[in-house]
Structure 1
Amino acid sequence: MMSMSSMSIDSEDNGEFDAIATGERSDGGQLGASGKEQKEKSAPDVRVEGMDDDDSFSLRKFAAFVGPGFLVCIAYVDPGNFESNLQAGCQFGYSLLWVLLWATLMGLYIQALSVRLGLATGWHLARVMRDEYPTPARYSLWIVTELAIIASDVPEVIGTALALKLIFGLPTVWGVLVTSASTLLFLALQQFGVRKLEAFMGSLVGVMSVCFVAQMGMLEGGDGGEVIKGIVVPIFQNGKALFIGISLLGAVVMPHNLFLHSALVLSRSFELGERAVRRALKYNVAESALALAVTLVINFAVTIVAAQSIRDADFDDPTGEKRRGIIDRPLQNAPDMLKDVLGKSAKGLFAAALLASGQSSTITGTYAGQFVMEGFLEIKINPVLRAFLTRTCAILPSLLVTIIAGDEYAEFLIVISSVFLSFQLPFALIPLVKFCGSEKIVGAMAIDPRALQRTWVIVSTIVFANIVLLCVWVHESGAVNGSPGGVFLGLFVALFMILYCASLSALALRPVTQNLTMQVRDRLESKDFDRQDTSAEGEEYI
């Protein structure tokens, strides 16, 4: 078997998606996938020389790996995160900052697993799952993943619409419709290659950083001691704080990121061999750590600004209605609070950050969706159609809720989507953990037994948090009661939890069946330079 290649996704046409999604080899053929042999094309733009030279850290090589982590980190600062951060700051001050810290560290560890799988096998997560599970399970996992991508797009649609309302006074309904144009932006950027896309996304992260750091700088005085206490002391003040804390966890770690990151690391081409692959893993993890450190600063800043602003806000509110409105609908009302405390410029900075967040998250969601569909189903769909379908599915519920219930419940839809994403995460995380812990899949790159045990603790924590989240949510809603409707809802929730736990248990207990040891061994023992492979000329999209 020929060595697998880490294909670049920077080419003259869209063949880069086909190469990464289908798992082609360096002689132009395909590994482990049905279909005709593919024709080799030009070498990739993102090419790293001398990976097997020495073990010293090289800034030049590190710079070549900078990019994928910043694309992935967008999910850590999307409008859903802003919603949760603002609610945490407005209601509980700095006391939930520790949740953001540990959720980000957990996210870094999970992203490192995605990188490990991609580098070891030359395939991304969806591609490995395609050959691992029988057809019914594979299609079920694909549907759940697609629903998660759509759910992740809902906060982006609403967040962008609210940002347009803040900046231009555009009604939210029209803003929701205008967001469909962002898919055209993604398609335009895609034509310029991955490095240009990475640079654009990095600039949007920079905009968010500048906006919120600037707002922190506007705050007079300081609560350094309270901030440090909130970061290091793990405590929930009450059940509501627990609910917000779990929503912070769900908003930070996004399931589609696992598929996206395992594919993006294949955009760097280098000379293969175990030493080179392990060094590539270190550079990718270091780059991801840098990107997530930036997002942690942003999330801290949002929470701190919200906490201090609502405390110092001096507005006429004898009934407390205005303060309650800020807590319940922070994306819409917090900018006015910031304006009262920090001046008119703060409102503009918040709107700019929200717009950058919504647009960047939309692009990465569409990007991940292409890999998911091609990986699970071996279907290559035109990027225009893919972007249109994903955005349409996200716009319809957002538009209906905004028209029927108004702006107030549009933000509630963000919370609903974040909860759904949290519940979907284990369906992607459990297969990833099993693959990275199995020598049959990643060979010598498998994580050691102790690390695997710690990883299962993380998975169990996420599942437990989801169960607690649902129980707290149902309890506080008061919907489950002695009425016929309440009894029916209680039975439905109980049945859902049984099916949910049974499905995850089946995934966790199922032994790994496919064997990629020869494929991985060829990558770890090969000295051939990775070359880009793209689809055959004249390939048709459906």
Structure 2
Amino acid sequence: MSTGKESLSNVHSSVQTANKTGWRKILAFIGPAYLVSVGYMDPGNWATDIAGGSAFGYSLIWVLLASNLIALLLQSLSARLGIVRGLDLAQASKNTYPRVVNFFLYLLAQLAIIACDLAEIIGMAIGLQLLFDLPLIWGVSLTITDTLLMLFLMNKGMRKLELFIVSMIFIVGLSFLVEMFIVQPDVIEVAKGFVPGNLSGNALYIAIGIIGATVMPHNLYLHSSLVQTRQIVRTHEGIKTAIKFNFFDTVIALNLAFLVNAAILILAASAFYKNGYFEIAEIQDAYKLLEHIFGRTAPVLFAVALIAAGQSSTITGTLAGQIIMEGHINLRVEPWLRRLLTRVLAIVPAVFTILYYGEDGLGKLIILSQVVLSLQLGFAVIPLIHFTSDKKKMGKFAIGKWAKLGAWASAVVIVGLNGKLVYEQIFSWISESSGGTLIWIYALVIPVVLGIVSLLLYVFLRPLLFKHKDNPIFIPHGIATVINNLDAIQYNHIGIAIDFSKNDSNTIRHGIMQGGDKALYTLIHVVETAGAQYNGVEVMDHETQSDVDNINQYVIAMQKMGYNANAKVGFGMAAKSISKIVIEEKIEFVVMGSHGHKALKDLIFGTTVNKVRHMIDVPVLVVKPLR
């Protein structure tokens, strides 16, 4: 049972895995890696793969393969951390690093999510334009509405969410399977692309973009949390089984993602590079050329897959945002609000680019977003390796020397390539700039880079220099105290909020259960008409008169049954009026009926119960409506 303190507490341990064997056991664990894998085939991957395939043919396939192998290793470490320690990567970081460091780690991780979301916004907007000829500025604006879809799916439970994601992956995979039959790539040339080659200049930039688009930092946070949605037996054998089945899940899901990415790069190489189109970095150009070369079917499949990839990625980005926010800085807000905030922060640069640089600048913006993702990778990868290598915390499940060697080699490659890119970029800026621009580079850019490098060194060195000095796990609501006795509490004045629905009798019954025949009961109703909101107690419209008569009938009925009851009518906003009456009447206990709204209705009508709970300092009993 979830206590609200775990990672993604609303779905923690919500999927049963016990008492299942064979295929049922495998199917019970399948899911988390598929949610993670959508980040490996989102519009950001499309942009980097298309740019790489059109500019360098099949020669960068080996970068894709290397990125996928690194991703397999790191995602399996992420899953291991979540299964063994029951912590996600952000929570483990909070227990290891000081608060100020966690704050900066949160900012960098949030920046990565915004960069990822930026690619999804642009990708979906481009997909809508390609299919329906919708202007990009409108498409970008429309993407804000997917917050409602995310809210709906999260209220349906983890399995329904996973089913939606898998269906989106199926659409993307099927689309590119058909595309491969249409373009008919050169198999021998494709095989040669798996041979590693030298990287420099634009090839290095695109290669780093591919790494950033493939090994996404927020996916490491996400996977370490999603594996905890499976309810496992916390024994050595139970944990070992969970690690094994989650590894199968990871291998299958990420290899499918690799095939999709390879298909995109091969498509670009076969359609554009071989036909002399060497600079097709724009998704729109790829769509038009596909139509020009292969007819209408190929580009339609391309656009449908693009929308499906963007829509599925935006869901997982929201979950990752929740994990890093709660884990690093212990800030909890409603998922729809966090989704809306992240989406708005991503929409702003997209709209700015369209307005000032035109639609042609969006392709470059997508690739830049993937490079930003790659630059943030070290801050997620290095702590992850430290945590899963710690034999004191991981016990027998700490990673072995070969896995550790591979993980650190991956980290060196990622950080080294990023360092090379940053050095080349700054050197290029200095050589091309003069006067005021050069001053800004020395005064702002270089200090920021040095600060980020210092933070990365600290993240690497602290677990080595201060081994096993972790802070205790932070529990948001405190630590349970010892219970000595539980004497009954007698409430002398109980408030009961009513709304003249079929649930009133049930709400009143629960109120009487708290105070018996000794308490005073104040029935509370709020008139919420427009007149009541503006005129308050001076309003006496038909609804107000009717409500006063009805509440008095409740009072008379209770008095006939031997209970001491009276009535109070409020005017205007329900939560504010109820809270005012509770305070003025010195009510000790409040009983309220839940309206039973879910998801969209809560967003539209609001949640009076939650607002009242935060406005008063007396206990509140919420009574669910009768079915």
TM-score by length of 2: 0.71
Which residue does the alignment assign to 1:426? 378
Please report how far the alpha carbon of residue 296 of structure 1 lies from its aligned counterpart in structure 2 after TM superposition: 0.7
Relative to structure 1, the CA distance from residue 79 to residue 135 in structure 2 (aligned partners, 3 Å threshold; closer, same or farther) is: same
Write out per-residue CA displacement over residues 286-329 of structure 1, whole angstroms, 9 at most, x where no aligned residue: 1011001111111111111111111454xxxxxx8xx46x5242
Which residue does the alignment assign to 2:6? 20
Match of 1:432, SS state, is helix
Looking at structure 2, the residues matched to 44 and 439 of structure 1 have their Cα atoms a distance apart, in angstroms, of 25
Pick from 192, 215, 221 the counterpart of residue 229 of structure 1. 192
- Letter aligned with residue 481 of structure 1: E
Which residue does the alignment assign to 2:434? 483
Aligned partners of 1:48 and 1:269 also within 8 Å: yes
Please report how far the alpha carbon of residue 139 of structure 1 lies from its aligned counterpart in structure 2 after TM superposition: 1.2
Write out per-residue CA displacement over residues 249-306 of structure 1, whole angstroms, 9 at most, x where no aligned residue: 1111111111110000001112221111011111101101100111111111111111
C-alpha RMSD over aligned residues:
2.6
Looking at structure 1, the residues matched to 11 and 462 of structure 2 have their Cα atoms a distance apart, in angstroms, of 41
Please report how far the alpha carbon of residue 130 of structure 1 lies from its aligned counterpart in structure 2 after TM superposition: 1.8
Looking at structure 1, the residues matched to 410 and 199 of structure 2 have their Cα atoms a distance apart, in angstroms, of 23
Aligned partners of 1:309 and 1:338 also within 8 Å: yes
Which residue does the alignment assign to 1:374? 326
Query: In the TM superposition, what are the counterparts of 1:87-486 in structure 2 within 5 Å?
Result: 87-220=51-184, 222-231=185-194, 233-236=195-198, 239-311=201-273, 313=275, 323=277, 327-329=280-282, 331-474=283-426, 480-481=431-432, 483-485=434-436
Looking at structure 2, the residues matched to 147 and 445 of structure 1 have their Cα atoms a distance apart, in angstroms, of 32
Relative to structure 1, the CA distance from residue 142 to residue 539 in structure 2 (aligned partners, 3 Å threshold; closer, same or farther) is: farther
Q: Structure 2: give runs of 5+ residues left out of the alignment.
A: 474-608, 615-627
Looking at structure 2, the residues matched to 176 and 263 of structure 1 have their Cα atoms a distance apart, in angstroms, of 30
- Letter aligned with residue 329 of structure 2: L
Please report how far the alpha carbon of residue 42 of structure 1 lies from its aligned counterpart in structure 2 after TM superposition: 11
Aligned partners of 1:430 and 1:508 also within 8 Å: yes
- Letter aligned with residue 188 of structure 2: G
Looking at structure 2, the residues matched to 132 and 439 of structure 1 have their Cα atoms a distance apart, in angstroms, of 15
Aligned partners of 2:14 and 2:158 also within 8 Å: no
Looking at structure 1, the residues matched to 385 and 157 of structure 2 have their Cα atoms a distance apart, in angstroms, of 31
Looking at structure 2, the residues matched to 195 and 438 of structure 1 have their Cα atoms a distance apart, in angstroms, of 32
Relative to structure 1, the CA distance from residue 242 to residue 351 in structure 2 (aligned partners, 3 Å threshold; closer, same or farther) is: same
Relative to structure 1, the CA distance from residue 427 to residue 312 in structure 2 (aligned partners, 3 Å threshold; closer, same or farther) is: closer
Please report how far the alpha carbon of residue 478 of structure 1 lies from its aligned counterpart in structure 2 after TM superposition: 5.7
Q: Greater strand share, 1 or 2?
A: 2
Looking at structure 1, the residues matched to 238 and 299 of structure 2 have their Cα atoms a distance apart, in angstroms, of 48
Looking at structure 1, the residues matched to 260 and 373 of structure 2 have their Cα atoms a distance apart, in angstroms, of 21
1:69 aligns with 2:20: no
Aligned partners of 1:215 and 1:342 also within 8 Å: no
Looking at structure 2, the residues matched to 43 and 257 of structure 1 have their Cα atoms a distance apart, in angstroms, of 18
Aligned partners of 2:54 and 2:272 also within 8 Å: yes
Pick from 15, 24, 28 the counterpart of residue 46 of structure 1. 15
1:508 aligns with 2:477: no
Looking at structure 2, the residues matched to 108 and 280 of structure 1 have their Cα atoms a distance apart, in angstroms, of 17
Please report how far the alpha carbon of residue 49 of structure 1 lies from its aligned counterpart in structure 2 after TM superposition: 1.9
Write out per-residue CA displacement over residues 449-503 of structure 1, whole angstroms, 9 at most, x where no aligned residue: 343233222111110010122234456x666336224533653554444333222
Match of 1:327, SS state, is coil
Looking at structure 2, the residues matched to 282 and 97 of structure 1 have their Cα atoms a distance apart, in angstroms, of 29
Looking at structure 1, the residues matched to 58 and 287 of structure 2 have their Cα atoms a distance apart, in angstroms, of 19
- Letter aligned with residue 483 of structure 1: S
Please report how far the alpha carbon of residue 237 of structure 1 lies from its aligned counterpart in structure 2 after TM superposition: 6.6
Match of 2:174, SS state, is helix
- Letter aligned with residue 66 of structure 2: W
Looking at structure 2, the residues matched to 493 and 229 of structure 1 have their Cα atoms a distance apart, in angstroms, of 40
Match of 2:304, SS state, is helix
Looking at structure 1, the residues matched to 121 and 378 of structure 2 have their Cα atoms a distance apart, in angstroms, of 25
Percent of aligned pairs sharing the same letter: 38
- Letter aligned with residue 291 of structure 1: A
Write out per-residue CA displacement over residues 426-451 of structure 1, whole angstroms, 9 at most, x where no aligned residue: 11111111111112332221112343
- Letter aligned with residue 193 of structure 2: G
- Letter aligned with residue 189 of structure 2: E
Which range moves more in the overlay, 94-103 or 479-488? 479-488
Looking at structure 2, the residues matched to 168 and 45 of structure 1 have their Cα atoms a distance apart, in angstroms, of 40
Between Structure 1 and Structure 2, whose CA radius of gyration is higher?
Answer: 2
Match of 1:21, SS state, is coil
Which range moves more in the overlay, 338-347 or 96-105? 338-347
Relative to structure 1, the CA distance from residue 502 to residue 122 in structure 2 (aligned partners, 3 Å threshold; closer, same or farther) is: same
Q: Structure 1: give runs of 5+ residues left out of the alignment.
A: 8-14, 24-40, 314-319, 518-537
Please report how far the alpha carbon of residue 131 of structure 1 lies from its aligned counterpart in structure 2 after TM superposition: 2.1
How many residues of Structure 1 are paired with residues of Structure 2 in the alignment? 474
Relative to structure 1, the CA distance from residue 440 to residue 401 in structure 2 (aligned partners, 3 Å threshold; closer, same or farther) is: same
Write out per-residue CA displacement over residues 225-262 of structure 1, whole angstroms, 9 at most, x where no aligned residue: 1111102x101375322222222111111111111100
- Letter aligned with residue 94 of structure 2: R
Match of 1:364, SS state, is helix
Match of 1:298, SS state, is helix
Aligned partners of 2:55 and 2:273 also within 8 Å: no
Aligned partners of 2:79 and 2:227 also within 8 Å: yes
Aligned partners of 1:75 and 1:254 also within 8 Å: yes
Which residue does the alignment assign to 1:80? 44
- Letter aligned with residue 327 of structure 1: I
- Letter aligned with residue 460 of structure 2: A
Match of 1:480, SS state, is helix
Aligned partners of 1:22 and 1:375 also within 8 Å: no
Match of 2:25, SS state, is helix
Write out per-residue CA displacement over residues 108-131 of structure 1, whole angstroms, 9 at most, x where no aligned residue: 100011111111111111122222
Please report how far the alpha carbon of residue 346 of structure 1 lies from its aligned counterpart in structure 2 after TM superposition: 0.8
